[in-house]
Structure 1
Amino acid sequence: MTRYTASGVRLRRRASRGAGPDWLFLPGGPGIGSESLHELVDALDVPGTCWMVDLPGDGSNVDAPGAPADPYSVWPGAVVEAAQAVDAPVFVGHSTGGMYLLATPELEPLLRGLVLVDTAPDASWMATFAAMTQAHPLPPVDEATARYEAEPSDANLRALAVASAPWNFEDVEAGAELLARMPYNGAAVAWSDEHFDHTYAARWWPAALPVLIVSGSEDRIVDQSLWDVARFAAADRAVIDGGGHFPWLERPDAVREAFRRFSAACS
């Protein structure tokens, strides 16, 4: 089943496991499709329905019905439409997807729960990431970046993503295979870089809503120590030992258990 909201947000049903919440999975990137979260959804056994969410102009969601001529004019606030499209939404945001959720305070009264997977509360993670890339250089990334800057095609963006697999995954071979088969959208990358990534700071934090923060212990992309402050202490924390930036790929059982435990608070 596929649904589109008024602004062209696409929701595709991936799994249905009886009565329960509507789990909305928003990918990171930006520019990578929600297909990047298929293995996450498939690893879970939470009750309810799981929906893959793509904003208009992201991943393969191009020319969506209802989308404005400039689909990025509704970013990131169009995530509200996804929450309004289902009965009992629990939003799950990976990486930049989680940042888009935290930049949209209108979500708070709509949600049953919030799951943040290897994301951050503000843009300070970028400095730590830059330092990591200097300390652990990947010449193939430099080469792929040069090709993408010379010709910013989606194919070259895919090659750049694949080259970055050693930073993103502990299981590099499986990670590279995943990244190689994803849809990409360079226009989404450009919009987020210009309008969001460098100035992002969370505009809300749930006062009473159940929150789960999932962090790969080996995440080299987004600094997970940013959650180690008093403001976020009430959230359920799940640090996935041996997990990278996509921790469900290396440690599906541990991620499954974290979601299973959290799902009781969202029913």
Structure 2
Amino acid sequence: MRTFLGRLPRIQTALWLVIMALLSAAPATAQDLGGVTNMSRSPGHGTQVEYVAEGGKTYLWYPGNTNILKGQWKVEDGNMCFAYGANSYNPVTKQRGGWECQPVRAYQGGIAQQVSGDPMGLAGRRAVPFDLTGQSISLDQILASVINPGPPAIGGDFSCEGVIANAERSKSDMSIAAGTYFSGMFMGKRCVDVDYARAFALAEKSGTGVDGYLKVLRERAATGNPRAESALRRLGYELTAQ
């Protein structure tokens, strides 16, 4: 299977870069920019997710790649810079290997959504959870789709219909169905109406617990998301961790 190595994130269209370059660079440091997982979406690269770790390492989940791409990042002269190895290739800029930089403000402007830390475990993964090619789903939906990874029970139907039909057949099936009901997605595709109560019940019953889902709901509530606030109240949880 062909692997597209090193397609770099967050390089916007030429017009976007020109506009952002005219603005003064944001006074950001490496401490400000690390320790987060970002999702960006652009015409050239599509949807991509990246864990920008503190200390200068980065882990990119890029559409078309079969493996997580490891790289490095740094802040230099007001620019955010990335490098992914000598064999990497950026299909937008046509550059092979080496560092590529852009103004910090342009980089930050290209981030569609962000979450603290590495909740998807990209730093510890080799293979990508699924192919992001053609996906336009949100970071929350992507997170919910991979929060409880694992195959269905042997002999199970690894499809949206199968996951819903076999939701309570085994603990493994319960875990996968919980993630599906939480996001409404399965393997990056629309599957079922979002049902937080069903997701939490299945997660508890499977033994995996609800901590990951609870964190996501609280982060949504913190942005003023009324549906997340309502769900937390209905489920009997505080809007913020105590």
- Normalising by structure 2, report the TM-score: 0.28
Larger fraction in helix: 1
Of structures 1 and 2, the larger Rg is shown by 2
TM-score by length of 1: 0.26
Q: Which has the higher contact order (CA 8 A, sep 6+)?
A: 1
